[in-house]
Amino acid sequence: MVAGSQVGHQSDTPGSNISDVDAEGEIEVMSQRQLIWRRFKRHRLAMVATVIVVLFYVVVVFADFLATNDPEDSEADRQYTPPQWLRLFDGIKPDLHVCRLVGTRDQFFRKVYERDCEQKVDIRVFGRGYEYSLFGLKLDRHLFGVDHPELTAEDTVFILGTDVQGRDMYSRLMRGTRLSLLIGLIGIFISLMMGTVLGAVSGFYGGFVDNVIQRGIEIIRSIPTVPLYLGLAAAFPADWSVERRFFAITIVVSLFAWTELARVVRGRYLAMRQEDFVTAAITAGASQRRIIFRHMLPSFYSHIIAASTLNLAFMVISETTLSFLGLGLLPPAISYGTLLFTAQNLQTVALAPWLLIPGLFVVVLVLSLNFMGDGIRDAADPYGS
Amino acid sequence: MLSFIIRRTIYAIIAMWAVSVISFVIINLPAGDFVTTYIATQAATGNVILADEAENLRDVYGLNDPIYVQYVKWITRIVRGELGFSFEFNAPVRQVIEQNLANTLLLALGSVVFIWIVGIPIGIYSAVKQYSPGDYVATFLGFLGLGIPDFLIALVVAYLVFDHFGILLTGLYSAEYLTAPWSFGKALDLAQHLVLPVIILGTAGTASLIRIMRANLLDELKKPYVTTARAKGVTEWQLIMKYPVRYALNPVLSLTAYILPFLISGSVVLSYVLDLPTVGRDFLRALTAQDIYLSGAIILGTGWLTIIGTFFSDLLLAWVDPRIRLEGD
C-alpha cells in the first residue's frame, strides 16, 4: 500500500523487431541497451519524467549556484514575505526584474507586503552573491540574483517568499532538494547492495538458502513500516549531530526497502538459471561468482534500475514523512521534510501558503520517479507488448 | 490445504516473534531505562526519587536482569495482557489504547468501505473501456493517489477548506459534542468529520485497487470463454458481471484482510495532521515523549495485527484459488 506499487503500466506501443532488414539487405544489429533505449523513447510520459528527474539531480549538484540568497540568512523583519515572481519584460522591453515589496504593519501588528511594480529590483544573471564551494572551488557567482553596488534592505529577491525567520524559501528548497535526494541515493546504494546480493544468492543457489532468505523477506514485508520507522527514528537521541542523524535516518529508510529489489533479482535469476549461456559458462569452468556477477547480472541491469527508481520515490516519501513529524532530520538540516515541518500549523499556512511549495516538489519528483521506473520496466521487458 | 495452513501458521508465528523482538529492541534503544525517564518526569514536578528507591524500582521491573530475561518477562506480560504503564498519559497503556481504539477502527473500516465502493467500479470501467479517456483519467488519478503522501493531501485539503470556508478541519467531534453523551446529533457530527479523513486515508488503497482490478479483469477478458459467451449472445453487461468480474474480485477480497492493518498504521500521520483522536496520534505523542511502554505496545500491536491480517488473507486466497495452495508443495 505504499507508493510505487509494482503493478504494471499498460503500454500500447507495438513490439519492436530484434533486427530490421534495411534497403540494402544488410541486417541491422542492435545491442540490448539500444533496444531498451528504443522502446523507452516511445514512452513519452516516461521520457518527460526522466527529464524532470535529471533536472532534480542538476539541482543536487548545483544547489548553491541556483540559489539566490544564503539559505541560512535570516532576518526577523522580513518574515513571511510573499513570492516575488520573476518578470522577464518591462512593457515590451526585455528586462529581468522583480517588483519591490513594501512592508507595513496591519492592525494585528503583522507585517503585510504590497507589490510595487513602479519600483523595480533588477536581477543580474551570473551576479555575485554569498560564497559557496562547488567541487572544492570557492565561488560566489549565482545563476541570478541582486548584485549592484548600492544595495538597500528593500532590494530583495524572494521568488518563492520567505519563512517565519525571513529565510528565502527558494534557496532553502534548492538545498533541501540536495539533502532529500542524497538520502535517497545513499539509501538506494545500501538497499541495492543488500537486495542484489541476497536476491542473487537466493536465486542462484535455490533450495534451503533460498527458502531461508525468502521467508526472511516475507517476514520483513509483513511488518508495517510506518510505526516501525517512527519507533526507530524516535529512539535516536535528539542531541546527535546533523551528520550522524542524517546517516541514521538514511539507514532506517533503506532498511526495509531492499526486499522488493531482492525479490526482482531472485525472480530473474531463477528464470535465467536454465538459460544456455549459463550452462555454457558452468561447463567452461567459470567460478560461481563470475557467473553471477559477469554473466547474469548485466542481463538485468535495467530491471534493477527500474526497481531502484521506484524505491527512490519511496525513500523520499519516507524521509519527508519522518522529518515532517519531527522524528527524522531536525533543523538546521534542510530537507523537504524539515521545510514542510514549518507548514504544520494551518493558520500559518493560511497566512503563507507558499510554505506548501516543498510539497509540490515532492509530488512532482515522486510521480516522475514512478513514471520513469514504470517506463524502464516496460522497456526492459523483452516479452512486453 | 492442510499442509498449506500449517506452513502459513508457522511463518506467521515466526513473523510475530520477529516483530516482538524488534519492538523490544526499539523500546530499549533510547539511552537510559524508563526508571531514569520516570525520575526525570518526577523531578520536573518536584518529587525527588532517592537512589535506593530507584534501585528498588529497577528490581521490581527486573531492569537489572540480563536482556534476554527481560525480553521473556516482557513478552509474557504482554501475552497476559499487562501492557505496562504510560508515563505520558499517566494511565495504564491498555486504558490509553482502548480509549481511542473505536475511533481508529471506525476510520480504518470507513476507508475500506470507501476503497471498495470507489475502487471496484472504476477498476471495472477502466478495464472494459481500456484506453478510453475515462481509463486514462482513472490511471492518472491512480498514479496521483499512490504517489502523493497522505499527509500532504491532508495538509493541502485542510488548508483549502480553511482558506475558503474558514472551517478548521481538525478533530472528530465539534466542540459542543465533545463530552456530550451519544445521540443522533453526535453520530451525525462524527460522520461529517469522518468523511475527509476516510477519503484521504483511502486514496492509496483505492489507487492500488483500481490498478489491480483493471489488470485482473483485462487478463480475464482476453480468455476464450468470454469470446464463447459473447458468441452465444449473452449481453455484454451480464457477461462481464457474471464471470470475469467475479473472478477478478478474488484477490480483492483477500486484499481487504490485508489492507486493514495498513490503514491503521497509515492513519498515524493523518491523525497527526488533522488532530484526530486515534491511537495513531497517541502513538506519536508517546514517541516524542519516549513513553516506551505505550509506543512499544502500539508497534507490537500493529505488527501482530498486520501479520494476522496477512495470514487470513492468504488463507482466504488459497481457499478461493486452488493454484495458490498448491504452490510450493
* Domains defined for chain A, CATH in brackets: 66-165 (no CATH), 171-379 (1.10.3720.10)
Answer whether A232 sits within 8 Å of B261, measured CB to CB: no
Q: Which of A223, A226, A370 sits opposite B147 (nearest CB)?
A: A370
Rounded percentage of chain A residues whose pLDDT exceeds 90: 4
Say whether A235 and B29 touch across the interface (CB within 8 A). yes
Minimal CA separation from A183 to chain B, in Å: 17
Residue numbers in B near A313 (CB within 8 A) = 147
- Find out whether A273 and A203 touch, Cβ atoms under 8 Å: yes
- Interface predicted TM-score (ipTM): 0.79
pLDDT higher than threshold 80 for residue A269: no
Q: Domain for residue B313, yes or no? A: no
Cβ-Cβ contacts under 8 Å between A and B: the total is 144
| DSSP assignment letter at A168 | B
- Rounded to a whole number of angstroms, the distance from the CA of B222 to the nearest CA of chain A is 14
Q: At what angle do helices B292-320 and B279-288 cross, to 10 degrees?
A: 140
Chain A 110-139, residues with CB within 8 Å of chain B CB atoms: none
Task: Kindly state the cell numbers that stand for A273.
Answer: 538459471
Instruction: Flag whether pLDDT at B320 surpasses 80.
Output: no
Question: pLDDT category, A62, cuts 50, 70, 90?
Answer: confident
- Structural domain tally of chain B? 1
- Identity of the residue numbered B69: V
A182 reaches B (C-beta below 8 A): no
- Nearest residue on chain A to B144, judged by CA atoms? A367
Residue to test with chain B: of A7, A251, A372, most B Cβ within 10 A: A7
Q: Which residue in the set A222, A228, A321 is minimally distant from B15, CB to CB?
A: A222
Pairing between β-strand A93-105 and β-strand A27-28 as defined by DSSP bridges? unpaired
Residue B154 pLDDT more than 90?
A: no
A363 to chain B: nearest residue by CA?
A: B148
Residue A306: all three cell numbers together: 527500474
Any idea what the CATH number is for the domain that residue B260 is in?
1.10.3720.10
B182 in a structural domain:
yes
| Residue B280 · residue B269 · CB < 8 Å | yes
Residues of chain B with Cβ-Cβ distance to A377 below 8 Å are none
Residue A222 has pLDDT above 50, yes or no: yes
Q: Give the residue among B323, B321, B308 at the shortest CA–CA distance from B8.
A: B308
- Minimum distance, in Å, between the CA of residue A201 and any CA atom of chain B: 19
Concatenated DSSP letters for B234-276? --HHHHHHHTHHHHHHHHHHHHHHHHHHHHHHHHHHHHHHHT-
Q: Which amino acid is at B121?
A: P
B176 within some domain: yes
Predicted pLDDT at A25:
61
In a domain, B32, yes or no: no
Q: Would you say A329 and A249 are in contact if contact means Cβ atoms under 8 Å apart? A: yes
| Nearest chain A Cα distance for residue B33, angstroms | 12
Inter-CA distances, A359 with A308, B149, B170, Å: 22, 9, 20
CB contact under 8 A, B26 and A232: yes
Rounded mean pLDDT, A148-161: 71
Lowest mean pLDDT segment, chosen from A144-153, A236-245, B9-18, B294-303: A144-153
Nearest-by-Cβ selection for A327 from B205, B215, B287: B287
Mean pLDDT of A122-145: 78
Q: Can you give the residue range of the structural domain that contains B256?
A: 101-280
Give A20 to chain B, closest Cα distance, Å. 29
pLDDT confidence tier of residue A15, bands split at 50, 70 and 90: very low
- Residue B87 in any domain: the answer is no
Provide the whole-model pTM. Answer: 0.81
Mean pLDDT value across residues B176-192: 77
User: What φ, ψ does residue A174 adopt, rounded to 5°?
Assistant: -60, -45
Inter-chain CB proximity A1 and B170 less than 8 Å? no
In a domain, B2, yes or no: no
CA distance A3 to chain B (A): 5
Q: What is the pLDDT of residues B49-88, one digit of tens each?
A: 777 777 777 777 677 777 788 888 888 888 888 787 787 7
In this complex, do B215 and A8 lie within 8 Å of one another by their Cβ atoms? yes
A78 has pLDDT over 70: yes
Burial class (CB in 10 A: 0-12, 13-18, 19+), A331: middle
DSSP-assigned beta bridge partners for residue A90: A93
HSE toward the beta carbon, residue A333, CA cutoff 13 A: 27
Asked if residue B72 is part of any domain, the answer here is: no
Q: Give residue-wise pLDDT tens across range A163-218.
A: 877 788 888 999 899 999 998 889 988 988 888 888 878 877 778 888 888 878 87
Specify if B319 maps to a domain: no
For residues B179 and A63, give the distance between their C-alpha atoms in angstroms, rounded to a whole number. 52
Percentage, residues of chain A above pLDDT 70 = 89
| Cβ–Cβ below 8 Å for B268 and A10 | no
3-state secondary structure of B182: coil
Residue of B nearest to A312 (CA): B147
